[in-house]
Each structure stands twice: as C-alpha cells, then as structure tokens.
Amino acid sequence: MIVTRGLTRRFGDLVAVDRLNLSVSSGEIYGFLGPNGAGKTTTIKMLTGVMKPSSGEIEISGLNMDSAQMEIKRRIAVVPDEPRMYDNLKGNEFVRFIMDIYRLDKRQTSKRFEEIADTFGIDYLGKYISDYSHGMKQKLMVAIALMREPEVIFLDEPTVGLDAASARKLKDWLKVMALNGATVFMTTHVLEVAEKMCDRIGIIDNGTLIAEGSMDDLRASSGKSEYSLEELFLELTGNGQREEFSHNLGD
C-alpha cells in the first residue's frame, strides 16, 4: 500500500531523507521512529503529496504519486503534526466542510463521526477552531481522518497533543481500521509509543533507515535481547540522544 524507492529530499546541502526504500502492506500499523530532526515529517509530507521529493518514487495503493496525486489524496487521510484548520469555522462546520469536499454520504458519515467524537470526548464542536488548543485540534483531525475510512492513514506524531486516555483510544481505533484492511503509517520520536501501537517499526536517523522489523526482530538483530528498548534504540541511533529520549519516555 505504501512503496518508496530511493526516496530522497534535500534542503540545500542537507539530505533530510536519504534514499529511503519502504514497503508497507495492507492491514499493517507501521511506526516510523527516530529522534528529532531525523526526517520523519519530511518523509510523511512527501508520502502525502504535500512536498515534492528531490528524487525517488512513491506509490500509494498501487498509484504513482507523480501521475495520480489527486486520486491518492482521495484515498488517504493525514493527521499532520501541526494541524492547520480554518480558524473562522466552528468544529461542526469544519466537519461538514470535509464531508462536502470528499462527497461523503452525510447520514452514514455523521453517524460514524459521532461515534468517534464520543469516544474521544470531543464535546467542543460548537466552538470556533481559533479557540482550540493543539490537542483539541489534533483530536478533531484524528476523528475526521477516521471518519473518512481511508485506505491509508498517515499520522505525524499523533500522541504529542493527546492525553493518555485519548492516545489509548486512538490505538484501539487504528487497530480496528487495520483489521478492516487499512494501512496505518505513523511517526513518533517516542519509543514506547511505537512499541505499544505498531506491528512493525522502521528506525530513521539522519535521513537513513537504519533498522526495520517488529520489536522482537529489532531486539534479535541487535543480538542483545536483555537490552531494554531504550538501550536498543540508543544504540541504533547513537549515544547523543540519551537525555532527550529518557526525557521523552516519561511523556
């Protein structure tokens, strides 16, 4: 459902994403894990057609990003790290706007949306989006993404603005979506999040995919099964991030 070949993005001299080869199947929850600045957001922007690669190829649902970008955008949903929404709309107006854009069946979709909004405790749809916190926007974006029942859902650091209970519910919803055949691609800089939520993990550091597999695979390939996950991750991404990661594990 997601294939990249040699996917590369440069910013001047900096190679933010370096010859990335990914392959994610239908029904998989894939975690793209790496320290800050590793290239996760840049990758997700390219995969969702928001940013052009410097070189390399992207296929989503068997469609090429160069030739079928609009069709790809119809089939995917994205929860960006900094949700940009229409500040002058109320939440419920924004939801209706999205239903119009994607020409979704109003009755059916509203019912589904209400169920999702209910589990996430979204009770602020009558207020203007300009008054929402980051977490409130993020929850609404998650609910809208789930409401659309996309073939592939991309989430960039989805748990950053979410409280623990909402993160747990997000995990449950993503599992149900994956069981129904959707593909989930999410980034995180928090090891625990990847471990709890993902079937398979790719570790990116300085733009390069340095390890990939299930958590068990990753442990086995490091040959140090007694290692804690944190130690494993630190070993793979070098030692410089220890403080940052110890800190983030407490999130």
Residues 31-90 that bind ligand ADP (CB under 6 A): 34, 36-42
**Minimum distance between the CB of residue 164 and Mg ion, rounded to whole angstroms?**
21
Of the pair 16, 76, the CB lying nearest Mg ion is at 16
- Distance between CA atoms of 188 and 87, rounded to whole angstroms? 27
Q: What's the Rg (C-alpha) of the chain?
A: 18
Pair of tokens at residue 31:
């975690």
Continuous segment of H or E residues that includes residue 231: helix 229-237
Contact 135, 94 (CB under 8 A): no
- 3-state SS assignment for residue 21: strand
Of the pair 41, 138, the CB lying nearest Mg ion is at 41
Which one of ligand ADP, Mg ion, none is in contact with 42 (Cβ closer than 5 to 8 A by kind)? ligand ADP
Which one of Mg ion, ligand ADP, none is in contact with 80 (Cβ closer than 5 to 8 A by kind)? none
Which one of Mg ion, ligand ADP, none is in contact with 220 (Cβ closer than 5 to 8 A by kind)? none
Residue 42: how many CA atoms within 13 Å on its side-chain side? 24
**Minimum distance between the CB of residue 95 and ligand ADP, rounded to whole angstroms?**
28
**Minimum distance between the CB of residue 231 and ligand ADP, rounded to whole angstroms?**
21
Q: Give the nearest residue (CB) to Mg ion.
A: 41
DSSP state of 207: T
Q: Is 41 in the site for Mg ion (CB under 5 A)?
A: yes
Which one of Mg ion, ligand ADP, none is in contact with 39 (Cβ closer than 5 to 8 A by kind)? ligand ADP
Which one of Mg ion, ligand ADP, none is in contact with 138 (Cβ closer than 5 to 8 A by kind)? none
Letter string b/e over residues 50-72, b meaning 16 or more CB atoms within 10 A of that residue's CB: ebebeebebbbbeeebeebeeeb
| Binding interface with ligand ADP (CB under 6 A) | 11, 14, 16, 34, 36-42
